[in-house]
Amino acid sequence: MALSGEVCVVTGACGFLGEKLVRLLLEEENLSEIRLLDRNIRSELIQTLEDGRGETKVSVIEGDIRDRELLRRACKGATLVFHTASLIDYNGAVEYSELHAVNVKATRLLLETCIQQSVSSFIYTSSIEVACPNRSGEPIINGHEDTPYSSYPISNYSKTKQEAEQICLQANGELLRDGGHLATCALRPMFIYGPGCRFTLNKLRDAIRSGNVQHRLSQQSAKVNPVYVGNAALAHLQAGRALRDPEKRAVVGGNFYYVSDDTPHISYCDLTHALMSPLGFSIQNKPILPIFLLYLLAFFMEILQAVLRPVLRFTPPLNRQLVTMVNTPFSFSYQKACREFGYSPRYDWEEARRSTTDWLASVLPAERRLANKT
């Protein structure tokens, strides 16, 4: 079911995924209005959206997602919210109180606002880290939404994403002010890569500083199934269409879905190498240290971080969650999303890889100049 005439809100509209989703909505749907909600709306983004917006009104709502009045303005008269905004933290750089405020409290506040403003559909961008892997590093290969797993996240980021997802799904069926009912669902994308990926860009910078050699942190056997950002955005659009369809709404509402595509099952480091190797980068054959030593080193770094925190802000490059995550085989099927709301990846691996490598090639000269200065 198309979203023609709808008023949609995209939180985190300037983010890696949010921007791709906004562009996709403007390309494929004849929306009445799309509202871009973000802390910092880039003027160049708005300029590039002008040509592709057609008859759709593009409204900019800039500010803190924890601002109740801001959310009220964003949601008034809207029918569908895509909540992609999140504070991401892989290395303990952000205080738990800040993560919880943005990822959990703001999600709860946004859902409350949707109920007050009678916004009937809500899609939450969750994370594979909600499933973990757990601290024992128990693998999952081609799992699905009903695969049993003892999930007890280590990192604060994982904890907050898990709590926010639960809040979202529990809100399904809530009575709206106009007498209708709220329908919610959550999407759990695997690791998202593509043009603009900050993680991939950081790996490029590290490799430049190391003489065009990528340090290996993950074992080749620790295979995951990443998802291209264009396909992740498409899954959000298709889930949004499903929640606006009376029949599919009853099926999709209250559920979470894994989102991946046909990217080969590959380790995190080997994925980055596949994207960077056409540009002349190589990769180490083995991890820089045995995995148990990496884990032990990460543990001591976390202790040092805790000891120094009262007097010095220290962010370790490694933590136990990161070492465990990149060294655990952890892959999931997207077939439930196919069956229940019609998700079908649009971009194959070759196109996704070429697009990402072309983007890396475009930023490479500037990154080399920056590295030479430092």
Over residues 86-137, the pLDDT tens digits come to 999 887 788 899 999 999 999 999 999 999 999 999 999 999 999 989 888 8
Per residue in 166-193, pLDDT (tens digit) is 999 999 999 999 999 999 999 999 999 9
Domain presence at residue 251: yes
Among residues 66, 161, 73, 153, which one has the least CA distance to residue 105?
Answer: 66
- Residue carrying structure tokens 């298709």: 238
Domain presence at residue 245: yes
Domain containing residue 161 = 7-196+227-262+331-347
124 as an active site residue: the answer is no
C-alpha span between 13 and 233 (Å, rounded): 12
According to the model, what pLDDT value does residue 51 have? 64
Catalytic residue among 90, 124, 149, 157: 157
C-alpha span between 32 and 237 (Å, rounded): 16
> For residue 162, is pLDDT > 80?
yes
Per residue in 217-260, pLDDT (tens digit) is 999 999 999 999 999 999 999 999 999 999 999 999 999 999 99
Domain presence at residue 185: yes
Question: What's the N-to-C CA distance of the chain in angstroms?
Answer: 52
- CA max distance for the chain: 63
Domain presence at residue 217: no
Cβ-based neighbour number of residue 125 at 10 Å:
28
C-alpha span between 324 and 326 (Å, rounded): 6
Q: Are 334 and 249 in contact (CB under 8 A)?
A: no
Domain presence at residue 281: no
> Greater confidence, 226 or 149?
226
- Residue carrying structure tokens 């980068």: 281
Domain presence at residue 340: yes
Give one DSSP letter per residue of 97-138, joined into a string: HHHHIIIIIHHHHHHHHHHHTT--EEEEE--GGGT---TT--
Domain presence at residue 117: yes
C-alpha span between 98 and 118 (Å, rounded): 29
> What DSSP element (H or E) covers 373?
helix 349-373
Q: In what order do the strands lie in the sheet with 80-83?
A: 57-62, 33-38, 7-11, 80-83, 121-125, 183-189, 255-259
C-alpha span between 118 and 99 (Å, rounded): 27
Per residue in 60-93, pLDDT (tens digit) is 999 999 999 999 999 999 999 999 999 998 877 8
CATH code where residue 170 lies:
3.40.50.720
The residues, ordered by sequence, that sit 6+ positions from 14 with a Cβ below 8 Å of its Cβ are 36, 38, 40, 41, 42, 45
Q: Are 333 and 248 in contact (CB under 8 A)?
A: no
The count of structural domains within the chain is 1
Domain presence at residue 211: no
Express as a percent the part of the chain with pLDDT over 90: 80
Among residues 202, 198, 360, 209, which one has the least CA distance to residue 274?
Answer: 360
Residues in a beta bridge with 33: 7, 57
- Residue carrying structure tokens 């909540």: 83
